[in-house]
Amino acid sequence: MLHQLPFQNRRVALAAAGALALAALGGNMPAHAASYGTPTITLAASYLSGAVGATGDPVVTVTVAQSGADATALTVAASASSRSSVAGTSDVTVTGTGATRQVSVAARARGYTDLTVKVTGLGGKTATKVLHYAASAAVQNSADTRYPTGSSDASAAVDVGGGYAVVADDESNTLRLYDLAVSGAPVRTWDVASKLGVSKEIDIEGAARVGDTVYWTGSLGNNKDGEYKADRNTVFTTTVTGSGASTQLTVGRSYKKLREDLVAWDEANGDRFGFAAGTEDGEAPKQIDGFNVEGLEFAPGSTTTAYIGFRAPLVPPKSGGKALIVPVTNFDKVTGSGAKAVFGTPIELDLGGLTIRDIRKNAADQYLIVAGSWEADDNSDPYTLYGWDGVAGHAPVRRATLPTTDPGGWEAVVSVPDLSVAGARAQVITDAGAADLYGDDTEAKDLDHAEWKKSRATWFTIGN
């Protein structure tokens, strides 16, 4: 019995008994619970746009951590939705392990919802962030559609290899590099305003590439209120280095008198196209007899003669008129050394009463023309893709009718495949700046968050 042991031996026995009791309980004691910190969660972006029925929608990267714990032990999931009819918690998918996860959302309906993203760490500790999500409606050809975000007013595009393209915006002076195989934000951006000495929008509408040089043109016309804005009368170059995701641009030279050269040339040739009247103060550019440039490409086999494609005027300016191309035979010198433009014989194309929204060719001098209305409010008007060989007097050939029931007007061809190959496809991009994408009567270009602004890039079969 313990009380029968000498005092010193009793002390030793009590200590041993206590140690055995602690050892027996050791597996059940939360010895480290107090050492776990509160988890942290960071979203790479707080705003995200998706589309109903979309393929390859944008994702948001989530970074999580917890002091005292390995990140692989943390769980991430959506815990709440402010409007589950747009997207509920079950529509949110989290992939990845460790400190970095990817969150994607499958939209149920057009509209907005706030999604709460929750990280649960060891010790039952949690933290949350809110992802502000916007979903646009389902569109035709959804499986072949991707959404470049960050801008809604795509107006011209240039292929830089590997599925990547540099895309211009007619509402800003920023060029954006996108991976057009997926939806999402630009990989890289370049604001060209300071390099070109402009303070207002150039209204970039056309582009053409020769080697490593990309030529860009503003619309050259008045603004929608009929006011002359000098910065719109800008043609400039950029030099491309690298390709694909590694593409870099360097801004080159510019020329700011092409509009004046065109007006003077037309007046000297009997005012055939009414350029002087179309550029008068108070004249809106997008009229049947207006003045507005939207296409730029080089003539077959040439690195010096550029085709200037007009959205307005229609020639003659009446229903059934033809689309107009004016060749500039020294375009390389116009931008390279500031030489006054020299013009060739104008070309009139029968595009079924439509005008030029973009013109692009491939290395074999096969051209694609995006034909649309000269009108300003024309998203529901016809759009047609025409093939052409670039030769004056040769008729263009209808290749595809583009759908018009979805938001946005078709504006730019990324690149031209071999049109003689059956099943060949081309990617065409919309300008969705005037579209109400999310059902709240807000035009896309006026949305508060760049992540919610987007255009639409869709593949169409156009080969023989």
What is the length of the chain?
464
CB burial of residue 24 (10 Å; 0-12, 13-18, 19+): exposed
Which residues have CB under 8 Å from 361's CB, separation 6+?
297, 298, 300, 367, 368, 390, 416
Q: Write the pLDDT tens digit of every residue in 87-122.
A: 999 999 999 999 999 999 999 999 999 999 999 999
Domain(s) labelled CATH 2.60.40.1080 in the chain stretch across 36-136
Residues of the chain with CATH 2.120.10: 142-461
CATH number for the 142-461 domain, one of 3.90.1310, 1.10.3470, 2.120.10, 2.30.110? 2.120.10
Q: Give backbone dihedrals phi and psi of 20, rounded to 5 degrees, phi first.
A: -65, -40
Residue linked to tokens 């065109």 = 262
DSSP state of 341: P
Q: How do strand 292-298 and strand 306-312 relate by DSSP bridges?
A: antiparallel
**What is the per-residue pLDDT across 9-47, written as a single tens digit (0 to 9) for each?**
444 343 444 433 333 434 444 444 458 999 999 999 999
pLDDT at position 34: 56
The CATH architecture that domain 36-136 belongs to is: Sandwich (2.60)
Six-digit token string for 168:
């211009």
- Is the Cα dihedral 20, 22, 23, 24 positive or negative? positive
Helix and strand element counts for the chain (H, E): 5, 28
| Integer Cα distance of 280 and 271 in angstroms | 14
Query: Between β-strands 111-120 and 100-105, what pairing exists: parallel, antiparallel or unpaired?
Result: unpaired
pLDDT at 107: 98
Successive 10-residue mean pLDDT values, the chain, 464 residues: 44 41 40 76 98 95 97 97 98 97 98 98 97 98 97 98 97 97 97 96 98 98 97 98 98 98 98 98 97 98 98 97 98 96 98 97 98 83 96 97 94 97 97 96 97 98 86
**Judging by DSSP bridges, how do beta strands 367-372 and 355-361 pair with one another?**
antiparallel
Contact 45/59 with Cβ under 8 angstroms?
A: no
Q: pTM to 2 decimals?
A: 0.91
